[in-house]
A and B are shown apart, each in its own frame.
Chain A
Amino acid sequence: MIDLFHNLALGFSVAVSPINLLLCLVGALVGTLVGVLPGIGTIATVAMLLPITFGLPPVGALIMLAGIYYGAQYGGSTTSILVNIPGEATSVVTTLDGFQMAKQGRAGPALAIAAIGSFFAGCTATVLIAVLGAPLTSLALAFGPAEYFSLMVLGLIFAVVLAKGSVLKAIAMIVFGLLLSMVGSDIETGASRMAFNIPELADGLGFATVAMGVFGFAEIIRNLDAGSEMDRELVQQKITGLMPTRKDLVDSAPAILRGTVLGSILGILPGGGAVIASFAAYTLEKKIAKDPSRFGRGAIEGVAAPESANNAAAQTSFIPLLTLGIPPNAVMALMVGAMTIHGIVPGPQVMQKQPELVWGMIASMWIGNLMLIIINLPLVGIWVRLLRVPYRLMFPSIVVFCAIGIYSINNTPVDVVLAGAFGLVGYWLIKHDFEPAPLLLGMVLGPLMEENLRRALLISRGDWSVFVTRPLSAGLMAVAAGLLVLAILPTLRRKRDEVFVESEG
């Protein structure tokens, strides 16, 4: 317990230094700004803004990236409520009741409740990370290569089970990602694999490059297909009375609490994440409500629960990354990329060797959430005005910005071409209803999986049964197998499709 306070104190002492406060603020603001723009999801936002953190010291870079991440979530909910356009997949459900509230002239309370819910969830999640960090880290030290491999299998299976659409196609995308991660040098022998003597491929395909291609460029190309039919039904009347009434607060308090709990749990699970959390929280609220018909007509619980849940999940998904070194979703995978660029290998060692890095980032999340709640409510007007920027001007800007960003990572033009190629691949994937998110997760976990697989088999002298004879590993494998069976069972799948039918990413 004393450790906990000591750690948090260390974190806050790092996070409140003027430069880190500024970076946190800038990250949160820029994240919100990009999050507000429809057509750029969280993953693309983080990928796009990754290069701007390169020149910073590692702590500052991570603080800024974390800020971008939850800022993007926050921006997404603002547009959901005001214009019925979810800026991010995580706030798709928020549109259902949030926009209805806005139409009834209650946009102010809706925004305020979303902010309060997010803030509460953020605080809870921060404490949770601090509490769970140390024990999970010691657990991680007990993990051998076999356990790591099994854990990653479990994570990938989770990602499949929770993704929308066909289980088979999601698995195929993961394996495609794993295969892509094999390009480059072999970790043990240094042999060049599938690189075709292209020097730029010797280090493998850049993760940010692929992410920018399949999420950034592909998204733009697809939006161009749709043309200008995107209807933007702006709520024109002035937003008055930001503060929710007493009744609003009483109504939404339990919903915020439930959303936070649900979101925290789903965030920790590998493969889970903010999108699923918000859907699950909304579904739960609707199920336990006395009068479910209120939902979809401006029920404040319908805003409070998913917004708390997605924020909680966004933050607790840092737990597996920081303690085990395993990114549970695509955004965390990008964080791994950012850490690697700064020479940090995420995992249990980081917590022990660079505590100021980890705790500084955790503390900054709390500060960042506080900043968002204070800054964003007065800025709502500006965000709304941003939505009036037509797409015909926005998309060439994004293209150029992304191109410069990718170029700046390694100063290699080939990376830009590769990102463009992956943009076309991503466009093709969308057209064939393949989800790109599992592909990215596979790509990040690929090298880790290979390394641990090889090590495990080397230790066991080629005996494949290690994965089922070591108890921890066997347990993880059993859960993975069980989940997969459940996912493939057709009856369950139909239900699952109903729940996640609107989910993206």
Chain B
Amino acid sequence: MISRRKWIAGIPAAGSLLLTACKDSLPPTYGSLFDASNALTFAAHRFLLRNQPLVREFGRERITKNFPAINETNPKSDRYQQLLAGGFAEWRLPIEGLVAKPTELSLATLKSFPSRTQVTQHNCEQGWSAIAEWTGVPLGRVLQEVGMLPQARYVVFHTVDGWWDSLDMFDALHPQTLLAYGMNGRELPVAHGAPVRLRVERQLGYKSLKYVSRIDVTDRLDDVEDGTGAVGAAYGYSWYAGI
């Protein structure tokens, strides 16, 4: 008969079995019981989302007024303010790493790619949610443009205000994952991450970084910054935020 203690001890063991079984496809920061449960969620969601469904899209009439702007709302760095003053004409987005053609994209070049506009709900980890229309280029289209190499597994994003985060290809290549430069039919406002922010619709809002300043394509995360895959790990936020 299994004792209570053995049963409880079996839970992390089952978790590590799961980790070993599909180690190659799992996100970083494993080892704790919390991470084991987040890995279970991750694996379950990957199964549920195996056909890459889109999140709901709304009609424009559902757009909410005064969409909250939280965290950084106007980066103070001289460089950012200089770019802002110039209407972001001088702004460049470097895309580096495992790509055939490392590139620095201007805003005009980004806008010349086929765009996607979607009215979606932003789900903040705090508990509130609001609906907005986002216009941008699907990230997958940009990665195709720069010739992503076959060994690429993650896309790392850095921002003007020092945040960084990453996506694996499952989410990076999803049709609704955008480099967004427009919001509610206008240019993306400064408070919401101008000139370009990320939209990752199937995860909580904290994955949709504002003020994207550099993109790095890589095959591993353990040598990126502190190796945790995202700045949020330091605050106890799960790397995968599909919840």
* Bound together: no
Give B residues with C-beta under 8 Å from A: none
Residues in A lying within 8 Å of B, measured CB to CB: none
